[in-house]
A and B are shown apart, each in its own frame.
Chain A
Amino acid sequence: MSTLACHRTPSAARRDGLTVALAGNPNVGKSTIFNRLTGLEVLTTNYPGATVEVNAAVVRLDGRVLTLVDLPGIYCLTCSSGDQCAAREALLENPPDVVVAILDATNLARNLFLVLQLIDLGFRVVVALNLADAAEHAGIRIDAQHLQDLLGVPVIPTVATRGHGLREVLAEALRASGRPPVIRHRYGPRLEGEVARLAGQLDGQMPLPARGAALLVLEGAADAGILAGAEPASKSAWTERAAAAADRVAAAYGEPASMAVARERHALADRIAAKVMVSPGEFRGRAAWRVAVRPATGIPLLLVVLAAIFAGLFWGGGALAALVDGAWATYASPLIRVLLLTVFGEGVVVRTLLWGLDAGLNAVLSVGIPYVLTFYAVLGVLEDTGYLNAATVLLDRVMRGLGLSGRAAIPLVAGAGCNVPAIIGLRTLRTERERLIAGTLITLVPCSARTAVIFGAVAYYLGWSWALALYGIVTAVVLGAGWGLNRLIPGGTPDLLVEVFPFRIPAFRTVVRKTWVRVRDFIFVAVPIVLAGSVVLGALYETGLIRLATRPLAPIVEGWLGLPAVAGLTLVFAVLRKELALQLLVALAIVEFGRGAENLLSFMSKDQLFTYALVNTIYIPCIATIAVLSRTLGRQRAAVISLGTVALAVLLGGVTMRLLALR
């Protein structure tokens, strides 16, 4: 019948080698540690909900194969938002051999809550006492050895941003994997009595040790899949016993069992923290966020930040673009031309290939990279200072008008980088309604690829005020869509509940690395698509088939939008990647009118360029976005959203063209 397997580790689906999960509260440096250990591209950020899918990487250490799993930041293992569910599922349904619990040394007691819960559940735990430098700076001194003795698990001080202590953590994890898990702590006798009684009634099919399972059930997580292996009959009998035990705990403590367990765990965490704290210090850095969250200072600051992003893109991105363009025209282009002519000789083949290898690559380098690079560098700084986190508080009021909580501001801002991770990030939101509204709005947020088109076409040829006007229209569209959806979709807006982190000075290395990883992804994914797209369009052009291909589009593109039919074709191609639109247009202009700063203007009027960029920004997100949207919200909704944006873009484009013509 019952087995009191107190020291049994959760049964794991066996894999090759060992699995080590990194767990911790948000913003404790988990992803930084993961990146350091793996050299892999999980983006580290200073806001909650950044690691939204459970990332894993395989590394070798001392001849052994380790699978490292980077879990989303969590405060506890009892579900609330989607990312906490993801962390709990990863831990309970696919239990790792060792959990590395990463703690913020500047906030020890609260961080110990999760560590105690992990130990309760029977995991082999190794503690990384991170931000050791920040703690030391604040005068906080913690006796790591004493903490290790009290918890019964290894404790290693670490400074993730500099890589200190990380190899020791892994080495300890390896050692720990060979030992049985240890539970040294106990809560109050009344609670432990009920836990032991309930644990004794469990049958041996549980994936968790009995004490851990009993505690988790008392915490209100009876649906956590911990009864997955049980027979239906014993399941229902046990559920009844669990309810009775919860009632007894509630009666004894005068509050629900879940609250009683949390209170006991906090009390124990407090006692442990008090014992190991040699000097409590005084942690500063709490005041800076006030400037960002108070409307009187926060709104001007937000405007300054937005203006800085815009200026950075306009001047920084613009200068980079001009530099790359010049270098390409002087050095690369003639070389490629000569090489191709030598190999293939004059003809349709060379002219088609030149579309891809000369004009296409040139467009990637001068349109895509300068603006994408600049945007991600700025975004990285904003994330790592903690500014974005503070901005969610300021923006909560505005977001509520769109049926969203301030929490949704983060995926929306991330959408300005790339819609795909932003939509995956919807998991951090609490309700389906909020995910649906935010998902729709994200597709309307100009990602860095669309920003490249706006800056490369509108700001570059028409001036910054036109780009600003375009952003104004898009902002109005996003706000209008959110306002409408909030009224259309039944249900309420969830409450905001987020931690406000102290501001930090971002580590230069982390920001550079993060920017590089994001830009590298962009290059590796974008270049083949742009090359292929350019060659196909080139082949259509050089063989004259382009007239046939553009014909079906003509009524809408020429008739309603007032754009050259060929431009419409580039918009269709841009479903692959949004910046492809301008890149193909540039390539087309180079072929038709030769290279030069004014080439696009000899091809299209200013009004046409503006309309073109507006339509490109609003219509259909790229194919990758549609795919992730249907995975997250369902195919039907993804289709409705995609088609809705096409209709909206065509409508707005035609109206804009007519309004511009009135001037």
Chain B
Amino acid sequence: MPQPVGKAGLNGEGALRSLADLPVGTRAVIARIPLDDPGTAAELAALRILPGEPVEVVEVIPLHGPLLVQTAGGVYALGRRLAGRIAVHGKP
């Protein structure tokens, strides 16, 4: 089952937030991506949606629609549930 990323700190990595919780215009650094499906993980990695990579939320489609993020590689649309499972570092 998908596990949403909690807002509390995990493994001493500092406060983590879910990518899906970020408002439009927020820049963040990815902390963790879901690894349970190797195919999706590999595709995320190829698209540079990887821990340590910067992302900016450029559009959020309302009513639980997809989230659009700009990475160094391009603009990608992520389903809200997938975005919910990507953790980013919280604001310092």
A residues neighboring B (CB under 8 Å)? 75-76, 78-81, 84, 107, 109-110, 113-114, 219-220, 255-256, 258-259, 262-263, 266, 270, 286, 289-290, 293-295, 392-394, 396-397, 400, 405-406, 430, 494-500
Encoded as 1 (CB less than 8 Å from any A CB) or 0, chain B from 37 to 69 comes to: 011111111111011100000010111111010
Q: Given A396-B61, A397-B61, A397-B63, verify A497-B77 contact (CB < 8 Å).
A: yes
Q: Given A80-B42, A393-B66, A497-B76, verify A295-B47 contact (CB < 8 Å).
A: no
Does B15 belong to the interface (CB within 8 Å)?
A: no
Question: Once the chains bind, are A499 and B47 in contact (CB under 8 Å)?
Answer: yes
Q: How far is the CA of A394 from the CA of B68 in the complex (A)?
A: 11
Q: Given A263-B50, A495-B81, verify A220-B42 contact (CB < 8 Å).
A: yes
Does B74 belong to the interface (CB within 8 Å)?
A: yes
B38 proximity list for chain A (CB < 8 A): 78, 220, 258
Name 28 A/B residue pairs within 8 A (Cβ), A-sorted. A75-B46, A76-B45, A78-B39, A79-B42, A80-B39, A84-B39, A258-B45, A263-B50, A293-B77, A294-B59, A295-B65, A393-B61, A393-B66, A396-B66, A397-B61, A397-B65, A406-B79, A495-B40, A496-B66, A496-B77, A496-B82, A497-B44, A497-B78, A497-B82, A498-B76, A499-B47, A499-B76, A500-B68
B35 proximity list for chain A (CB < 8 A): 256, 259
A298: nearest chain-B partner, CB-CB: B61
CB distance from B88 to the nearest CB of A (A): 16
B1: nearest chain-A partner, CB-CB: A492
B37: nearest chain-A partner, CB-CB: A80
Q: How far is the CA of A259 from the CA of B75 in the complex (A)?
A: 20
A286: nearest chain-B partner, CB-CB: B75
Question: How many residue pairs between the two chains, A and B, have CB atoms under 8 Å in the bound complex?
Answer: 128
A397: nearest chain-B partner, CB-CB: B65
CB distance from A118 to the nearest CB of B (A): 13
CB distance from A515 to the nearest CB of B (A): 28
Question: Once the chains bind, are A397 and B78 in contact (CB under 8 Å)?
Answer: no
Does B8 belong to the interface (CB within 8 Å)?
A: no
Number of B positions contacting A (CB below 8 A):
34
Choose from A107, A256, A405, A500 the contact partner of B76 (Cβ within 8 Å): A500
Question: Once the chains bind, are B72 and A109 in contact (CB under 8 Å)?
Answer: yes
Q: How far is the CA of A258 from the CA of B36 in the complex (A)?
A: 13
B12 proximity list for chain A (CB < 8 A): none
Question: Once the chains bind, are B39 and A79 in contact (CB under 8 Å)?
Answer: yes
Does B73 belong to the interface (CB within 8 Å)?
A: yes
Q: Given A78-B38, A397-B64, verify A496-B79 contact (CB < 8 Å).
A: yes
The 9 closest A-B CB pairs, nearest first, are A80-B39, A262-B45, A495-B79, A495-B82, A78-B42, A110-B73, A76-B46, A496-B79, A75-B46
Q: Given A495-B79, A496-B79, verify A259-B51 contact (CB < 8 Å).
A: yes
B85: nearest chain-A partner, CB-CB: A495
B66 proximity list for chain A (CB < 8 A): 393, 396-397, 406, 496
Among B46, B50, B75, B82: residue with most chain A CB under 10 A? B46
Q: How far is the CA of A107 from the CA of B66 in the complex (A)?
A: 23
Q: How far is the CA of A113 from the CA of B50 in the complex (A)?
A: 14
Beyond A78-B39, A110-B48, A497-B82, 16 extra complex contacts between A and B, CB < 8 Å: A78-B42, A79-B39, A80-B40, A109-B73, A110-B72, A256-B41, A259-B33, A263-B52, A266-B50, A290-B59, A293-B61, A293-B77, A294-B61, A400-B79, A497-B78, A499-B77
Q: Given A80-B39, A495-B40, A499-B47, verify A406-B64 contact (CB < 8 Å).
A: no
Question: Once the chains bind, are A219 and B68 in contact (CB under 8 Å)?
Answer: no
B47: nearest chain-A partner, CB-CB: A75
CB distance from A327 to the nearest CB of B (A): 48
Q: Given A80-B40, A107-B74, A266-B50, verify A497-B61 contact (CB < 8 Å).
A: no
Choose from B33, B40, B46, B51 the contact partner of A113 (Cβ within 8 Å): B46
B74 proximity list for chain A (CB < 8 A): 107, 110, 499-500
Choose from A76, A256, A289, A393 the contact partner of B43 (Cβ within 8 Å): A76
A263 proximity list for chain B (CB < 8 A): 45, 50, 52
Q: How far is the CA of A179 from the CA of B42 in the complex (A)?
A: 32
Question: Once the chains bind, are A76 and B42 in contact (CB under 8 Å)?
Answer: yes
Q: How far is the CA of A405 from the CA of B50 in the complex (A)?
A: 22
Q: How far is the CA of A650 from the CA of B81 in the complex (A)?
A: 40
Among B44, B45, B47, B81: residue with most chain A CB under 10 A? B45
A394 proximity list for chain B (CB < 8 A): 61, 65
Question: Once the chains bind, are B50 and A500 in contact (CB under 8 Å)?
Answer: no
Q: How far is the CA of A464 from the CA of B38 in the complex (A)?
A: 50
Q: How far is the CA of A382 from the CA of B61 in the complex (A)?
A: 22
B64 proximity list for chain A (CB < 8 A): 397
Q: Given A293-B68, A294-B61, A397-B64, verify A496-B78 contact (CB < 8 Å).
A: yes
Question: Once the chains bind, are B77 and A406 in contact (CB under 8 Å)?
Answer: yes
A296: nearest chain-B partner, CB-CB: B62
Q: Given A293-B68, A294-B61, verify A255-B51 contact (CB < 8 Å).
A: yes
A262 proximity list for chain B (CB < 8 A): 42, 45-46, 50
**Which residues of chain B from 17 to 44 have a CB within 8 Å of any chain A CB?**
33, 35, 38-44
Question: Once the chains bind, are A259 and B61 in contact (CB under 8 Å)?
Answer: no
